[in-house]
Amino acid sequence: MLSQARLAVLCSGFGSNLQAIIDAVRSGRLSVQIASVISDNPDAYAITRARQNNISCVLLNPKEYSTRSAMDQAILSELGKYQADWVILAGFMRLLGPQVVAAYRNRILNIHPALLPSFPGTHAIKRAWEAKVPVTGVTVHFVDEGIDTGPIILQEEVKILDGESLENLEKRIHEVEHRLYPKAIQQVIDKNKIPNNK
């Protein structure tokens, strides 16, 4: 007997990828349970999205922890409390520490708005646009100890149109993100079914 995989979604901001995951679960495109949303930002709209959808939400304010390690221990504690099988980073703007990565090795996913290994780190869409590369895109990858260096799960190219504004490119890349992330999550979970032994 196989149980439905339990996701903890970590967010820092608007939460549009969280909403895409919620919508995919509702429509049946993604067969998981969102066990909790964890945010490090008290002003994150992702918190509102979680509450509107009756999803348990936890705020871990970094200002309340004296060290990065203490913050990571708090994250691990919440992941354990909600029995998370998978950790999904959806606009989470903090690097997870090595103890979190080790505890959930090959079970932490992130989405990045570029074709990795190009343009890792922050402001990837803007940097690709300013570099005038003909093609950028979206990458879903496993998280390791580096910055956007983990094994790639899925990628999709997005061509940069002649004379395209940064705002329009951002909009088109976000549309790809919202479609690609649920697909990648389901693909990975299908390959790693969780035994129902809880």
Which residues are designated catalytic?
A: 112
Tokens 């820092």, residue located: 12
Those residues whose C-beta lies under 8 Å from the C-beta of residue 139, and which sit 6 or more positions away, are 111, 112, 114, 115, 116, 148, 152, 154, 155
- The DSSP call for residue 30 is S
Evaluate whether 141 touches 159 at the Cβ level (below 8 Å): no
- The DSSP call for residue 65 is -
Those residues whose C-beta lies under 8 Å from the C-beta of residue 115, and which sit 6 or more positions away, are 135, 136, 137, 138, 139, 155, 157
- Give residue 150's Cα distance to chain centre: 13
Evaluate whether 18 touches 43 at the Cβ level (below 8 Å): no
> Nearest-5° angle of CA 133, CA 153, CA 102?
115
CA-to-CA separations, 155 to 60, 61, 103, 141, 173, in angstroms, rounded: 31, 32, 26, 9, 12
